[in-house]
Structure 1
Amino acid sequence: MLRCIINICKRKQALEAATMNETAPTTAKLTISSKTYSAWSLRGWLLCRLAGLEVEERKVANDAANRAELLLLSPSVLVPRLNYNGASVWDTLAIAEFLNEQFPEAGLLPADPIARALCRSISGEIHSGFSNLRSALPMNLKVRHESFPVFSGARPDIERIESIWQDCLERFGGPFLFGGHPTMADAMYAPVATRFITYAVPLAPECAAYCDTIFEWAPMQEWIAAAKAEPEEMEELEVEF
């Protein structure tokens, strides 16, 4: 027991030292989980790419030991977690707003105030809602299911997301949700697009085209390639982490 406590204390000291180093203005570190399964990690990473912020990735596996380590890094035990310019930011919406403040020229939000309000609203909706969709169609970038039975409770979520996408694509002309440049909303909905493709969910033509746009987006291609190179596999995906 004493040895265990000593080891935990040593690990905490090492992590605190590493965190102190993260306060340098030029240092950016992003703590993430599996690139194959973790939708939230994907969102945080895409947001950093949208901001033009190069990050050093710190990957934490989804097991008890690594979650104990993550607890020392972030009180919420959540990923993603961004350390930049002395700030420690977790929760994808908080990261999005922080990056928008740090890099206002990057266009994480539309310039038009009405479009900006809509972008924030639909980003918040995917952040806090659609729990049936998350449970029924877990993110998995390594497989394709051509005839996957979709839980009926997820149908309203799918229909609502289609409605959001159709509205934005019609109003702003595509190919991204708010026109020719991706925004925080595209980063937030990117994991949903992967789900629809993974499970071959029938979609309206414009929504299917939007999924293709997300998949062809260069940062997504980079993430997918890294996911396919990951060795770990999860046989059961009951919750999203």
Structure 2
Amino acid sequence: MAEATLTISSRNYSSWSLRGWLLCRMAGLDLAVEVLSGDPASRAELLHLTPSFLVPRLTHGAVRVWDVLAIAQYLTEVRPQAGLLPDDLATRSWSRSISGEMHGGFVNLRSALPMNLRARYTDFKLWGGAQADIARVVEIWQEALKAHGGPFLFGDRPVVADAMYAPVCTRFVTYGVALPPDCAAYRDRIMDWDLMRDWIAAAADEPEEIEELDMEF
């Protein structure tokens, strides 16, 4: 029996589920995954499991954690050896700051470019608010990559911030968003990450009728 269970929504559509799963795998948890569909019975079950009606939800022994940043904080405490945050205090603060910015911001990008791993669009029209959010993501990536040398945002290993921005990489692929060379290389590195490959393969096998409970679940 697995030591922990992660309750998620659709792998194809749920960016928050992807973030939570990446964090758990990066932390080395022996993890079972429970996928809830969008039918009313599953919604009721999720509401019972998670009072805030949010996924992902991590159950680890007697501990229940929901909200991705809460899961990230919990995992850094119980799995410090996993290195989910950079070693240096100032760099950890930087990583936490851009993770929080993704957690609470970029509403226009989320609305205009919802996650859909199966889809591919060409000549997708972006409105101004989404373009401003994309420009800010590019700024965040370039600053971190320049300071730490890549291939991940804070050096040679992925940390919480990379998990937070991984779904954005999938959106940029889905909607054909043009990026500067350094950001395109980072996007490709994330998409080629073994954990991302595992998630995308599982999403491809998911029944078409499974729907996201809400756009940003």
TM superposition score category, shorter chain reference: over 0.9
| Aligned equivalents of 1:30, 1:164: Cα separation in 2 | 29
Match of 1:123 in 2: 99
SS at match of 2:11: coil
Match of 1:147 in 2: 123
TM-score (norm. length: structure 2)? 0.96
Cα offsets for 1:153-176 (capped at 9, x unmatched):
111100000000000000000000
Q: Is the 8 A contact 2:26 2:84 kept in 1?
A: yes
SS at match of 1:126: helix
TM-score (norm. length: structure 1)? 0.86
Amino acid corresponding to residue 68 of structure 2 in structure 1: T
Runs of 4+ deviating beyond 6 Å: 234-238
Match of 1:3 in 2: none
Cα pair distance change 1:35/1:238, threshold 3 Å: closer
Residue 151 of structure 1: CA displacement?
2.1
Q: Is the 8 A contact 1:135 1:238 kept in 2?
A: no
Match of 2:110 in 1: 134
Match of 1:174 in 2: 150
Q: Is the 8 A contact 2:23 2:163 kept in 1?
A: yes
Amino acid corresponding to residue 226 of structure 1 in structure 2: A
CA RMSD of aligned residues (A): 1.8
SS at match of 1:122: helix
| Aligned equivalents of 1:124, 1:84: Cα separation in 2 | 24
Amino acid corresponding to residue 91 of structure 2 in structure 1: A
SS at match of 2:6: strand
SS at match of 1:223: helix
SS at match of 1:58: strand
Structure 1 unaligned blocks of 5 or more = 1-23
Match of 1:199 in 2: 175
* Greater relative CO (CA pairs within 8 A, separation 6+): 2
1:28 matched to 2:13: no
Correspondence list, 1:79-118, <5 A: 79-118=55-94
Match of 1:9 in 2: none
SS at match of 1:61: coil
SS at match of 2:84: coil
1:225 matched to 2:201: yes
Size of the alignment, in residue pairs? Answer: 217
1:56 matched to 2:32: yes
Q: Is the 8 A contact 1:138 1:237 kept in 2?
A: no
Residue 152 of structure 1: CA displacement?
1.9
